[in-house]
C-alpha cells in the first residue's frame, strides 16, 4: 500500500515537473551547479595534483637557466611556453661529460599550428616510455613525430606534412614556416606528450632560423652573388631558400657558427643512481647562471598553492551554494502558493495533509535527485576527460 502511495506521489510530481520544463530545467541546473561544483572541484583538484606530480616525479632532475623554477618546469615538462631563458648545447655536453647522468636536451617555445613543437633526441622517447602507434621514429632532418591527440586533431598521419608556426609569421625579415614530414604517431600516453609535435633538436634549430638550406651558390645565377672573399660568399635575396627538407636538398642544410652555442631550453638529467644524482646536484649548487632542480619539489609547491586556492574557492562556493539553496526554496514556496487552487481541490476531495506534503516532497526529491545524478556524471566526466583541459588551464594561468 505504502509503495503504491509513494509511486503515485512520484507520478504526480513527475507529471507536474515535465509540464513546466523551463522552470524545472532552470531549477535543476541551479541545483546541479550548487551540488556539482564542490564535487567537481574536489575531484579535479586531486586528479590534477596527482597527474602533475606523477610527471614531475618521473623526471628526476632538470637543468635550466636561473630564473623561475616553476616556469622552467612548466615549459620543460608540460610544454606550456613561458619564455624561459635558454641554455646552450654546451651545457648538454657538460652534463653528459660528468658521466653521472644521461642528458636529454629539450628545445621548446616553438609551435606547429596550435601544438607545441619540441626539439629533442631519441633518448626522450625511451625515457618517457613513449611508443609508436603508427609509422617510425625520427631518422633525418625535417621529420616529425606527432603525439596521439595532436595527430587526431590535425587529422594527420605518416606521409602527411605539417608546418611550424613561427611567432614572426608576418615579419618579412623573420623566420619562415618550415614544412615537416610526419613519419610517425605516438601511442596515447595520457599526458602533455599527446599534444606535442616532436622533432630532432637540429630540426628545431632550423625551424627557428638557426640553420638553413638554400640553392647551391656555385650553380646560382650571376646576379644572385654580390661578392666572394676569403671563402665567404655574399648573395642577395634572389637566392632560393628551402622551406622543406627533402632528400634532394638535405645536404644543402647547414648551420653557421659554433654548434655548442646553439640554444637548448632545458636538459633532463637522468642520473645512473641516487648517488650520481646527489653528486650532480652538488656540482650545480653554487652555479650562478644555471639551476639543477628536482621537478617534483617544484610541483609540490604548486600543489600547495592550488590547495590554498581551493580552500578559498570552497568558502566562496559554499556561500553561493547556500544562496542557491535558499533561492530554490523560495521558488518552490512561491510555486506552491501559485498552486493554491490545486491544494484546495486536494483538500476538498479528501487528500490527507501528509499525502499533499508527500507530493510536494516528491517534486523536490525528483529535482534534487536529478541534480545529484547530473552533478555526479559531470564530476565523473570532468575527472575522466577534463584532466588535460584543466591541466592546460592551470599551467597557462600560472
Partner 1 sequence: MIELRNVLFRYAEGAFSLEVPALRVETAARAAAIGPSGSGKTTLLNLVSGIERPARGEVHTGGTRVDALSPAERRAFRITRIGFVFQEFLLLDYLDVRQNILYPYRLHPELRLDQEARDRAERLAEGLGVRRLLDRRPDELSQGERQRVAIARALVTSPELILADEPTGNLDPVTKNEVLDLLFEQCDALGMTLLMVTHDHALLDRFTQVIDVSKWGGTP
Binding to partner 1 by residue 58, rule CB under 8 A?
Answer: no
Specify the stretch interacting with partner 1 by CB under 8 A; choose among 66-74, 114-122, 129-137, 337-345: 337-345
Binding to partner 1 by residue 221, rule CB under 8 A?
Answer: no
CA distance 352 to 341: 16
All residues at 6 or more sequence positions from 118 whose CB lies less than 8 Å from its CB, including other chains: 79, 106, 107, 108, 196, 197, 198, 199, 204
Specify the stretch interacting with partner 1 by CB under 8 A; choose among 73-81, 120-128, 299-307, 339-347: 339-347
Residue 195: DSSP 8-state: G
Binding to partner 1 by residue 4, rule CB under 8 A?
Answer: yes
Please state the closest distance from residue 351 (CB atom) to partner 1, in A: 4
CA distance 71 to 50: 19
Q: Does residue 387 come out as left (phi exceeding 0), alpha (psi in the -120 to 50 range) or beta?
A: alpha
Q: Which residues pair with 182 in a beta bridge?
A: 144
Question: Which of 12, 90, 235, 332: binder of partner 1 (CB under 8 A)?
Answer: 12
> How many residues touch partner 1 (CB under 8 A)?
24
Specify the stretch interacting with partner 1 by CB under 8 A; choose among 13-21, 72-80, 169-177, 209-217: 13-21
The answer to whether 76 touches 266, Cβ cutoff 8 Å, is yes
Please state the closest distance from residue 17 (CB atom) to partner 1, in A: 9
Please state the closest distance from residue 190 (CB atom) to partner 1, in A: 48
Site for partner 1 in 123-162 (CB under 8 A): none
Question: Which of 255, 342, 384, 396: binder of partner 1 (CB under 8 A)?
Answer: 342
Site pattern 14..33 for partner 1 (x: CB under 8 A): -xx-xxx-------------
Binding to partner 1 by residue 355, rule CB under 8 A?
Answer: yes
Q: Are strands 161-163 and 179-186 parallel, antiparallel or unpaired?
A: antiparallel
Binding to partner 1 by residue 348, rule CB under 8 A?
Answer: yes
CA distance 43 to 101: 37
The answer to whether 196 touches 188, Cβ cutoff 8 Å, is no
CA distance 184 to 125: 12
Backbone dihedral angles phi then psi of residue 192, each to the nearest 5 degrees:
-60, -25
Residue (of 28, 39, 27) closest to 386 by Cα position: 39
Question: Which of 30, 351, 364, 376: binder of partner 1 (CB under 8 A)?
Answer: 351
Binding site for partner 1 (CB under 8 A): 1-2, 4-5, 8-9, 11-12, 15-16, 18-20, 341-342, 345-352, 355
Amino acid at each position: 500500500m505504502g509503495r503504491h502511495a509513494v509511486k503515485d506521489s512520484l507520478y504526480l510530481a513527475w507529471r507536474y515537473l515535465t509540464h513546466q520544463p523551463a522552470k524545472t530545467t532552470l531549477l535543476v541546473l541551479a541545483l546541479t551547479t550548487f551540488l556539482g561544483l564542490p564535487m567537481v572541484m574536489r575531484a579535479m583538484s586531486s586528479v590534477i595534483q596527482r597527474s602533475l606530480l606523477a610527471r614531475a616525479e618521473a623526471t628526476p632532475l632538470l637543468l635550466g637557466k636561473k630564473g623561475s623554477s616553476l616556469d622552467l618546469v612548466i615549459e620543460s615538462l608540460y610544454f606550456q611556453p613561458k619564455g624561459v631563458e635558454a641554455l646552450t648545447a654546451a651545457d648538454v655536453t657538460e652534463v653528459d661529460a660528468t658521466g653521472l647522468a644521461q642528458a636529454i636536451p629539450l628545445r621548446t617555445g616553438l609551435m606547429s599550428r596550435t601544438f607545441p613543437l619540441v626539439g629533442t633526441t631519441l633518448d626522450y622517447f625511451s625515457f618517457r616510455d613513449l611508443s609508436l602507434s603508427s609509422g617510425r621514429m625520427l631518422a633525418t632532418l625535417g621529420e616529425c613525430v606527432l603525439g596521439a591527440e595532436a595527430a587526431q586533431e590535425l587529422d594527420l598521419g605518416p606521409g602527411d606534412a605539417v608546418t611550424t608556426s613561427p611567432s614572426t609569421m608576418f615579419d618579412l625579415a623573420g623566420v619562415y614556416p618550415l614544412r615537416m614530414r610526419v613519419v610517425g604517431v605516438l601511442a596515447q600516453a595520457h599526458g602533455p606528450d599527446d599534444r606535442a609535435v616532436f622533432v630532432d633538436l637540429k630540426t628545431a634549430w632550423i625551424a627557428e632560423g638557426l640553420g638553413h638550406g638554400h640553392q647551391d651558390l656555385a650553380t646560382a645565377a650571376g646576379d644572385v652573388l654580390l661578392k666572394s672573399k676569403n671563402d665567404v660568399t655574399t648573395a642577395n635575396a634572389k637566392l632560393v631558400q628551402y622551406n622543406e627538407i627533402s632528400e634532394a636538398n638535405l645536404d644543402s642544410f647547414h648551420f653557421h657558427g659554433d654548434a655548442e652555442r646553439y640554444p637548448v631550453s632545458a636538459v633532463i638529467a637522468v642520473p645512473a643512481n641516487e648517488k650520481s644524482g646527489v653528486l650532480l646536484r652538488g656540482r650545480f649548487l653554487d652555479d650562478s647562471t644555471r639551476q639543477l632542480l628536482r621537478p617534483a619539489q617544484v610541483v609540490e609547491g604548486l600543489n600547495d598553492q592550488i590547495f590554498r586556492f581551493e580552500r578559498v574557492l570552497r568558502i566562496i562556493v559554499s556561500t553561493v551554494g547556500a544562496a542557491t539553496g535558499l533561492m530554490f526554496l523560495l521558488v518552490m514556496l512561491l510555486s506552491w502558493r501559485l498552486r493554491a487552487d490545486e491544494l484546495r481541490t486536494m483538500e476538498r476531495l479528501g487528500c490527507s495533509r501528509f499525502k499533499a506534503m508527500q507530493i510536494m516532497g516528491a517534486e523536490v526529491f525528483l529535482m534534487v535527485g536529478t541534480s545529484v545524478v547530473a552533478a555526479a556524471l559531470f564530476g565523473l566526466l570532468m575527472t575522466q576527460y577534463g584532466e588535460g583541459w584543466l591541466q592546460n588551464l592551470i599551467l597557462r594561468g600560472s
